[in-house]
Amino acid sequence: MMIIGCDYHPAFQQIAFVDTETGELQERRLQHREEAEKFYRDLAAEGVKVRVGMEASGQARWFERLLAELNFELWIGDAAEIRTKRVRKQKTDRQDAQLILKLMLKDDFPRIWVPSGENRDLRQLLWHRHRMVQARTRIMNQLQAVALNEGLRCKKRLWREAGREQLEAFRLAPWASRRRRDLLELLDRLTPTITELTQTIEQEAEKCPEAQRLMTHPGVGSLTALAFVLIIGRAERFQCGKQIASYLGLVPLEESSGNRRRLGHITKQGNALLRFLLVEAAQVSARSIPEWRSKYFHLAMRRGRKIAKVALARRLAVQMFWMWRQGWDYEQVRKFGSHAGQPGNRDGVHSNTE
């Protein structure tokens, strides 16, 4: 068997590999994409069993597909944890590849969970819709600025038929008129695209029982529920709500020592799209659930609205995690959750016999 430690870069990869039968150690620098592909295909043609280890990277999809096609085993590791295992202060590509190989040989390689190809493709659907909505928002803001410059201030009414007629009726300078026309054309093209993508997301959420269960929570729609299921992957990966909050970057930075404890802003180390969706959904939940609304206003008065929104987003993420982990819908959470039996809970304490 051949074990390969790979320090991956977009343009090349530095590898250190050892043959477990002979103990021979070699190093090579492979340029992407032709040289690297030829190297691994030659190994497959020789019938060699191969295991490749590399740090998590966002530009290696083609490489992962190549190894899967050749039936080579791929280990992807946590880059931050691998960095902590480096002893020497010098850092080069060769040393990085050697370190990865050394960790694999010692069975100390910090492997991480890798989503399936179908999971990744559905994530692209979510990101595509998100970017389209952002582009439409920027276009709408520019058109609002055009209207304000002409003395028309009607906010959302600008997108109704009467508001648009007023916008199109303004007599503008030639290039300002061209800009208005182009922005309106872009807006007309983006809106049907976003509608189609939204319908596709709703259809995918209907196929997912976990997403359907999460959608019973007030404020959680098909987009947020599907994104949560895709990005979390498996609920069994996490043991408690604190791990979920940390994974999503909703816990504060901490720099404590001795008797001094210092907390900062949230880490933002998790998925930015899911964190954004949770903040949006938590605000809807605060409007729908009296207890959440009271908690939001209490936090907003003490710490400000921004911190209050993030705190509710973390609370929503933890509650969605336990709904998924326990297989409960929202009504069961209200009856059998950790708040059962507290004053003000009309359901009291029940045994979960449903």
In this structure, the answer to whether residues 39 and 151 fall within a common structural domain is no
For the segment 18-50, what is each residue's pLDDT rounded down to a tens digit?
998 888 999 999 999 899 999 999 999 999 999
Q: Which residues constitute the domain of residue 150?
A: 117-207
Number of domains in the chain: 3
Interior angle at CA 213, CA 207 and CA 218, nearest 5:
125
pLDDT tens, N- to C-terminus, the chain (354 residues): 999 999 999 999 999 999 988 889 999 999 998 999 999 999 999 999 999 999 998 889 999 999 999 999 999 999 989 999 988 888 899 999 999 999 999 999 999 999 998 999 999 999 999 999 999 999 999 999 999 999 999 889 999 999 999 999 999 999 999 999 999 999 999 999 999 999 999 999 999 999 999 999 999 999 999 999 999 999 999 999 999 999 999 999 988 888 888 888 999 988 999 999 999 999 999 999 999 999 999 999 999 999 999 999 999 999 999 999 999 999 988 887 665 445 555 544 455 544
In this structure, the answer to whether residues 81 and 133 fall within a common structural domain is no
The 3-state secondary structure of 9-78 reads: CCCEEEEEEEECCCCCEEEEEEECCHHHHHHHHHHHHCCCCEEEEEECCCCCHHHHHHHHHCCCEEEEEC
In this structure, the answer to whether residues 218 and 289 fall within a common structural domain is yes
Residue 198 structure tokens: 């939204």
pLDDT of residue 341: 45
> Is 291 inside any structural domain?
yes
> Is 324 inside any structural domain?
yes
> Is 241 inside any structural domain?
yes
In this structure, the answer to whether residues 301 and 276 fall within a common structural domain is yes
Name the amino acid, one letter, at 94.
R
> Is 112 inside any structural domain?
no
In this structure, the answer to whether residues 84 and 14 fall within a common structural domain is yes
In this structure, the answer to whether residues 185 and 198 fall within a common structural domain is yes
